[in-house]
A and B are shown apart, each in its own frame.
Chain A
Amino acid sequence: MNYKSGEKSFLFLRLTLIFFFLSVTALYSQGRGTIRGIVTDSTNGEALAFCNVLVNELNIGASTDSHGLYIITSVPARSKYTLIVSYVGYQTKKIILSVTKNKITELNVALSPVGIKMETVETVGEKVIGKNATDIGLQRISMRDIEMLPKGVEADVFRSLQYLPGVRSTGDVSARYYVRGSSSNENLVLLNGITIYNPFHAFGMFSVIDPDMINSVEFYKGGFTSEIGDRLSSVLDIITKDGNKNTFAGSATSSFLTGKVLFEGPIPNGSFMITGRKSYYSEILKKFLNDKSAPIDFYDMSFKLNYSNPNFIKGSKFDITGFISGDNLNNYSPYTENMSWSNKLLGLDWFQLTDSPLYFEIGISWSNFKGEVDPKLSSAKPKNNQLDDITTKMDFNYIFPSKDELSIGTEIKDVNTTLYLENSLGAISDIGSSGTNISVYGKYKFLRYENFGADVGARIAAVSLLSSSDNPFMIQPRVSMTYRIFPAIALKGSWGIYEQELTTLSDENEVISLFEPWIIIPDYLKPAGSIQYSIGMTTDFTSSISLDVESYYKIMKNIPTLNDNKVSSTDPDLISATGESYGWEFLFRFNNNPFAFTASYTLSWAYKDVNGWLYYPRYDSRNSIDLTLEYNFGNDWYATITWVYNTGLPFTQSLGFYNKLYFNDLYSDWQIYENYQPLQILSDKDLGRLPDYHRLDLSLSKSFNISWVRFRLDASIINVYNRANIFYFKRDTGERVNMLPFLPTATIKIEL
């Protein structure tokens, strides 16, 4: 793609915009109106994402987005309509309203919870809405899903992802996840739209996201559309709560590892929420670290402040988000290294509804990651990484009377990274670079046909982070389509080209690592890219039974991969690799209170080719089964059983051992005669397979009130039958290291 073709793309985009705005004007004056509003929880004013809003007489509707916003266009003007607003766990509300020609009828709705908690948010109401939603690869995860799963010490949004088909981990120890055959640094994690670069505590054992602060979670396993950029694999989009708009409230939770608090309440024309979590006892983490003690000390804090004053700007909402997380492993001994890493996020977001079916969102944010290993007098290697990302985003959305939607936006990302590290062969990497990426995107959603939906768009990087990029106008076209062939069956498909300019200098052979240092892809490599295809089928047999089937094929090129053979500081840190992955995913859900059952199965293949050598990456698992059974005993007693099965992960087999000469100090007695230790000779990379992995977990929870205080007790048992799932073999001693053994844990949550 050269400069001229980039200019042509801009011209095309401009013409498209003009055409559609003209057609809107024509259609808009044909005696129709629009219904628009925000759906909230009546008890706390929190926005309810993914609600059903239906105009009963017309059998048309919309579902709410992450702001709780719904917009129903092209409603014939009439004095009486019944609007039905429904959401699982809330009382359905019927509202009579009138629609005036060429006007927007504003109707904000507050739903009251009914205390039914067994249903999941995915089974939305009457299933009328979203018939043509272009959402292949998208999973919506509710807080309840996260809380109901057995907890490996703490409830964790990242660990809950690992129960989804197509998502894998490489061990119980890590919350790091791998999606559809891609490495973990190709996953994007957004908190209120701000990128978190290292979203892990304690060597990746837990995520930095405290589930208590979450309002909604959307997880794209692939096929995400053009508004999201700079990642090849998946997007985890987490929206935090606004805070209680009605009254001051708080909660405190304690587990074997952390204590945490949440405080929220109203402010004039808005609300706030503050959370804090701190580890206070790390002894239980020995179970994760092969009985090795680590002075792990971590914390995270967040706040969100929102302000919405019609007297200031009508239809506006301003959010300020702040987030800090930190991990420190400080050793008193001067002969033991100190380690620390932290994230800092700050963002301002302006969401604006206008007097037409146009709304826009403008945000500016700063994300900082810092990680350091201070070896002091130990033999540890120094490591120092810092990344600063200042991003400005603008998104404009227009909903046509035909129900079609046009979205355009721009993103300016200014990134500055520094990295100093010494690899295991003593070679030094001293990298510092900065750059700016300016991307624009446009997409058009055809939603005018009830049984067909299409999202056609493209993302264009006008300026690249890579200063030497010979391809400044990288076009990433993306298409996602849905066709409801029968009322209960929808066929879906997507295709897209994806690019990524940031990467980590991480070693895929590390099964436990401190943190992954981020850098801009060096100038001697091209930006990483992938082409993804997916097709699928959603089947809703009844209101309580559904089956989703998806298949994907992904080709990856220019994947930056650590150069294992870097022995000199002048050798490149990264080399280019290619990859390929494909598979089938099945997700079956049965949900009939008091009983819910979810079963998922994944059949997948992943390959990576480095320097002509093709191998299975460590996260390639052929067959995966996840079964979850939930039961509501009544009186707020709930039980969950999960069983996970994966065929063995690849590992590099041993060709035997040889006696390797070790020495520390050549001043001491000559060591060449006897100072040898065994070391494994490795066979070809990842040709062996570990035994199959499986694990049964149980959890039991009970909620109750004492006076005005609400308590929730959770007890979990991880690995009920104490399966010895192998994690790895130590290379020097041949010792087998297993994953989590039988592990009982408990948490208590107190809500005021």
Chain B
Amino acid sequence: MKKLLIAILTLISISIFYSCSNSLNPYAPFRERYVLSGIIRSDTALQVVTLSKSYQPAGFNPFADSENVAIIGAEVNVWYNDSLYIMRDSSIARVDSSRYNSNVNFYYCKNLKPAPNSYVEIQALLPNGLLLTSITKTPDAGYGFFDQASNNTFDPTQNSQIYVGWKDLGNVYYAPRISIIYYRKGDTNPKNFYVPLSYFNQNDKLTPNYPQLTKINFFTIDNSTLNEAMKELSGTDKNKSDFTISKIIVDVIAYDENLSTYYSSLQQSVDGFTVNLDAADYSNITGGFGIFGSYYKASFRIDLVRSYINSFGYN
């Protein structure tokens, strides 16, 4: 019996010894891929895209690879309303040089400000002859975007909350932002105070809950939240009369469908613990990776009744 026991233990030991090779090559043969990244904005005529190529670091750590991967010398053309916009290449100094020492290379045009609900198409002919193409339809966030039921005047004696709604553009993201516009005595430039949707009481401390990217096409703010925001606006300054409240401005950035899907794909995990190894990587670039999307920013004004402003000591 002892001999058998020894034989089995020896077998296990030999098996362990022979199975200890641990070589692993996580890479398949490298094939260079190309990336176009660009988001067409509605709030400026300056449009920027970048072009880059893929890389395979020597080890497992991609941050160890510091060679500039930008593609220079491509022909980048944009079509909008049957007009051609040629993008020029340029570069600027990098703010964060922890990985790359070179400038940031990009392509730009300064005269393109597309209207809502219109198509913008891009073609990038790379120096090696490959073509990257894509198209975006700007969100339909122009005239009539905001819901008519939205409060354009807020009077706490009449309203228990602020409601602002806007057009449902489908399964897309919206980024709302609520600002109280005010002036401080002596300043001619207006200032913004961002209003949260609510406050959380954590350990007797109020934590603001600012709007996140959402697919819900409205928000509400309770009077208590607005009251707290109005109080916080002046901070510790006791001279409340130095503050002049102008209005509330609600901005809503609406993403187009491509940008919305792309944003979702940035969250590689659906929660903090799930590990998804091969999660789909969304791209709408034909011939490569990246994103060509657009967003539209719309604004809505809400006036506050004077008695409400004065109740906090503000003008």
Contact = CB atoms under 8 A, between A and B. Distances in A.
Question: Do A and B assemble together?
Answer: yes
B111 interface: no
Given A425-B264, A510-B274, A654 B26 contact: yes
Which of B35, B95, B261, B278 counts the most A-chain CB atoms under 10 A from its CB? B278
B280 A661 contact: no
A734 B271 contact: no
A728 interface: yes
Nearest to A594: B1
A132 B263 CA distance: 62
A597 B12 CA distance: 12
Interface stretch (B52-60, B77-85, B145-153, B303-311): B52-60
B69 A656 contact: no
Contacts of B19: 645, 692, 694
Interface string A293-322: 010000000000000000000000000000
A426 B22 CA distance: 38
Given A631-B5, A728-B277, A733-B63, A666 B295 contact: yes
Nearest to B203: A332
A658 B52 contact: yes
A27 B275 CA distance: 63
Interface in A652-671: 652-667, 670
Which of A337, A425, A629, A676 counts the most B-chain CB atoms under 10 A from its CB? A425
Interface string B185-222: 00000000000000010100001010011010000000
Interface in A418-455: 421-428
Interface stretch (A193-201, A249-257, A511-519): A511-519
Contact of A667 (B22, B177, B273): B177
B48 interface: yes
Interface string B25-64: 1111011110101110000000011101111110111110
B31 A685 contact: no
A729 B209 contact: no
A380 B48 contact: no
A565 B251 CA distance: 32
Given A655-B28, A657-B56, A734 B62 contact: yes
B260 interface: yes
A381 interface: yes
A689 to B, nearest CB: 9
A513 B270 CA distance: 10
Contacts of A337: 271-272
Contacts of B28: 653-655, 683-684, 687-688
Contact of A654 (B27, B173, B268): B27
A592 interface: yes
A679 interface: yes
B290 interface: yes
A643 interface: yes
A667 B253 contact: yes
Interface string A370-395: 00010101111101000000000000
Nearest to A331: B272
A665 B274 contact: no
A507 B5 CA distance: 44
Contacts of B54: 655-658, 681
A603 interface: no
Nearest to B270: A381
Interface in A616-672: 625, 627, 629, 631, 641, 643, 645, 651-667, 670, 672
A309 B84 CA distance: 91
A565 B280 contact: yes
Nearest to A507: B276
Contact of B272 (A378, A567, A728): A378
Contacts of A651: 26, 277
Given A659-B52, A666-B39, A724-B22, A334 B207 contact: yes
B192 to A, nearest CB: 11
Contacts of B65: 657
Contacts of A381: 267, 270-271
Contacts of B37: 660-661, 672, 676
B291 interface: yes
Contacts of A289: 273
A383 B295 CA distance: 28
Given A332-B202, A424-B268, A666-B295, A597 B276 contact: no
A595 B253 contact: no
Nearest to B53: A658
B12 A673 contact: no
Interface in A473-499: none
B31 A655 contact: yes
B72 interface: no
Interface residues of B, number: 88
Contacts of B57: 656-657, 734
B270 A696 contact: no
Contacts of A292: 273
Nearest to A692: B19
A682 B28 CA distance: 9
Contacts of B175: 665-667
A339 interface: yes
A380 B50 CA distance: 29
B96 interface: yes
A721 interface: yes
Which of A643, A657, A724 counts the most B-chain CB atoms under 10 A from its CB? A657
A424 B35 contact: no
Which of B52, B63, B272 counts the most A-chain CB atoms under 10 A from its CB? B272
B280 A643 contact: no
A428 B96 CA distance: 37
Contacts of A425: 261, 264-265, 280, 282
A659 B35 contact: yes
A355 interface: no
Given A377-B209, A672-B38, A724-B22, A426 B261 contact: yes
A657 B62 contact: yes
Contacts of B281: 660, 679, 681-682
B236 interface: no
Interface string A537-556: 00000000000000000000
Contact of B106 (A597, A665, A673, A726): A673
Interface string B102-130: 00101000000000000000000000000
B200 A662 contact: no
A602 to B, nearest CB: 15
A426 B251 CA distance: 23
A744 interface: no
Given A657-B56, A658-B54, A509 B278 contact: yes
Given A509-B277, A678-B63, A656 B56 contact: yes
Contacts of B271: 337, 339, 373, 375, 380-381, 383, 514
A662 to B, nearest CB: 6
A334 B57 CA distance: 38
A673 B50 contact: yes
Nearest to B209: A377
A667 B251 contact: yes
Contact of A511 (B56, B207, B275): B275
Given A427-B171, A627-B12, A736-B60, A653 B27 contact: yes
B26 A674 contact: no
A715 to B, nearest CB: 19
Given A643-B15, A655-B33, 14 more contacts: A339-B271, A422-B264, A423-B270, A511-B277, A595-B1, A654-B56, A656-B27, A672-B48, A673-B48, A673-B50, A674-B95, A676-B37, A685-B278, A694-B16
18 contacts: A381-B267, A383-B270, A426-B261, A426-B264, A509-B278, A512-B275, A513-B275, A567-B261, A568-B171, A592-B1, A655-B33, A656-B32, A658-B289, A662-B266, A667-B175, A676-B37, A683-B28, A696-B12
Q: 10 nearest interchain CB pairs?
A: A426-B264, A678-B62, A656-B56, A683-B28, A734-B60, A653-B28, A509-B278, A661-B37, A512-B275, A380-B271
